Each structure stands twice: as structure tokens, then as C-alpha cells.
Structure 1
Amino acid sequence: MTTLVLLRHGETLLTPGRRLSGSGGSNPGLSPAGRRQAQATADALAHRGDIEAVVTSPMRRCQETARPVAERLGLSVQLDEDLREADFGAWEGLTFAEVRDRYPDDLTAWLASPEAPPTGAGETMQQLTRRTAAVRDGLLTRYAGATVLLVSHVVPIRTLIRLALQAPPHTLFRMEVAPASLSTLTYDETGTATLQTLNDTHHLI
């Protein structure tokens, strides 16, 4: 079995307000609460003891989450550009309620089709799915039989889970992935995936 442990970055100042924070926005770092979450996660994963590599989105909030984990594990942090969050275009920094108020037709189209971009030439879910799947395939080849920690964002993590479950695109909006939560996928030698855990936040209590 190859195991991918999916860690969402800790909180930023935008997280409590549920504001869209993608790869086209301000690239915020962790808030004080987020830094505490990163340390608690590092403690939990050090206790787990089986992680052999740490791969992260290059965005600041993910690197700041990955760094204390890697330090506790004695591992280096590998950056992968394709683990970055979606580009939400003109929606960056807005809540869904604000997007619905300002761009109702574009939001409706985006929710209905993975081929529809956010307003302002943002990234489609189809484009994000393609790059996220490529990361997964590369890691399964490079780390066959190992356990790898991926530090990423809401949409890429939900996408990896959706693909593992062979679920339709709209299910992306039907799962919770909280800040600093852990989800776990295993893959057998044929590439068949099993979701072992989803949105585990027990280490943050």
C-alpha cells in the first residue's frame, strides 16, 4: 500500500470569515491560531512515525504549516507548484454570499460545470483536477509502498478524495476539510484507492 496523508494548511486571517483565498490572491501566511494548529499537527504526526516524505504547495500558508512538521520528522520540505489552491479570479477575497450577490450567473455556471471558470478568467475545476491528478500519479510512482504527507488546500484535497471515491464533480462541495485537518488515502498495487480517514481534527483538541 502507498499512503497519502492530506493535510490542509492551518488558519489564516481570511479563514474564519470563509473568504476565498486562492492562488491568484494575496498569499497570506498563518494567523497565530494557524501557527498553533501547525505545531499541534507536527506533534501528532511525529507520534504517528511512518511518514517518509513531506510535499507541499508553494503557497506561504502551506509552507508555514509543513515546516514544523518536517522539522519534527527530520525531513526536508519538497515544493510542488501543482498542489497550489485554485485561482478564483475576481472572486478572490470574497465570501460565497458576496460572489452570489455580485456574480450570480457566473457562480451558478461554476457550480454546475467543472468546465466553467470563475469570473475574471480564474481556473476551472477541470484544469485543477488535471494538475492534481498528475501530482498524485507522480507520487504513487516515486513513493510506491511509502507514506507521504501532502500539505495543500481545500480544493486540491477535496479533489484527491473525490477522485479516490470515483465520485461526480458536484460532490466536491459536499465534504468538509477543516483547517489543519488530516485525511488519508491508501492505494494498492493496482492504483485502487480507499479513503481511510476524512477531516480528522482530533489532534487539535
Structure 2
Amino acid sequence: MLTTLLLLRHGETALTAHQRLSGSGGDDPPLSGTGRRQADAAAESLAARFGVQAVVSSPLRRCRETAGAAARRLGPEVRVDAGLREADFGAWEGLTFAEVRERYPREFAAWQADPAAVPGGTGESFASVTHRVERARDKLLAEHAGRTVLLVSHVAPLRTLVRLALGAPPRTLFRMDLAAASVSEVTYDGAGEATLRFLNDTSHLSHL
């Protein structure tokens, strides 16, 4: 009996378009016009390819809007799980990676090397993100055994789910590309063993 988690990153926002860090500690931007079109395209593709039986979203607005577009096509109501929220990047919120690297070189290097490092002085470490994402995942697998569930979330939580599925080290987080409105798939067997089926599928966005 396989349980399938479809991992959908939210559509583009004004910050996403400029590759700026946008976590749970800064602004809560809505989808841009492009982001709304991406969410609709992802929803149409998911409806054609999968029989989704539950939709679960991060509480942040960009995810709830993306999940809403999916739910309108797929049927299930959106359930919000705070464990799927984006990391808090502290004082780095709104900055690009290049700006963080230039302004906080030591802290940035430590953040990339150590999952316990706290970004931006007051943010959330990847160790903390991993802990809450694991709890959210385990709860979903228990509640939806044998079903297909759409998770709408952000880069850090979704990369964490993929990393855990692969049994890969924390530094792997920086070696995955998850584009806005991309879809990935992880399945779990009855013993909880995970298989990554595909990663960062954006084929549904090619016509936009």
C-alpha cells in the first residue's frame, strides 16, 4: 500500500521573481499575476494526472492561494498545517543570496555548513525546520495511509521532505532546484520507506 505525497511549491510572488528570501518572519506576499497563472496551470496538470484525495497547505498566503487554485480543480477542501510553513530567515528576509553573502559572509557560510546555525540572527535553523517537517509528514502518513495527498509549501520544507526521503545529508538542501509552481513526488510504502519518483517538474508551465 503506497501513500503518495505530491509536493507543489507555491506560485511566483514579487519576491520570488527577484530570488529574494521570503520566509515566515517577513512579509506575507500574495501571488503575482504570473503566480496565479502558474497555480492554475499546476492545478490543471494535477487534475489530469492524479486522483488527489487531500490538499494540505502552509498557512502563508502564497501557498493558500496556490492550494485554493488546486482545490477548485481537484475537489478536496484545503487543510492548513503550520508545520509546512517556510523557514524564518531573520534579518535576511527580503535579501537575495548574493546580498546575504556580501553582508554576512561568516554567518552565511555557517548556515550552509551547519544545520543548527540560525540565519539572520533570529531566524529558524534547518534543524528546527527538519523537526517540524518530520512531524507534519508523519502525521500526514498516519492520517492518509494509501492515499494521494497534495502538499503546497515552500522551498525549505519541500527540499527537506525530499532530502529525508533520500536519506541525504543536510547540505543537499542547497543542491536542489525547486522552481515556483514545480511539482515533485515522493511515495511511502507500508513500512515508511520512501521513493522519490520525480523532482521539480515544470512541464505544465511551458505554455505560460
Could you state the TM-score of these two structures normalised by the residue count of structure 2?
A: 0.97
Question: Which position in structure 1 is the counterpart of 2:15?
Answer: 14
**Counterpart in 1 of 2:200?**
199
Aligned counterparts of 1:149 and 1:177: Cα–Cα separation in 2: 16
Q: Distance in 2 between matches of 1:49 and 1:158?
A: 22
Segments of structure 2 that go 5 or more residues without pairing to the other structure are none
Runs of 4+ in 1 over 4 A off after TM superposition: none
1-structure distance, mates of 2:66, 2:76:
14
Q: What does residue range 46-195 of structure 1 map to in structure 2 within 5 Å?
A: 46-195=47-196
Percent identity between the two aligned chains: 62
Structure 2 CA distance for aligned equivalents of residues 111 and 13 of structure 1 = 25
How far apart are the structure 1 equivalents of 2:123 and 2:112?
A: 14
Backbone CA RMSD of aligned residues: 0.7
SS at match of 2:67: helix
Aligned to 1:2: 3
Q: How many residue pairs are counted as aligned between the two chains?
A: 205
2:48 maps to 1:39:
no
| Amino acid corresponding to residue 194 of structure 1 in structure 2 | T
CA distance in 1, matches of 2:82, 2:130: 14
Look up the equivalent residue of 1:74 and give its one-letter code: G
Deviations 1:136-161 (A, max 9, x none): 10011000000000000001000000
Q: Which shows bigger deviation, 43-52 or 120-129?
A: 43-52
Q: Any idea what SS the aligned residue of 1:5 has?
A: strand
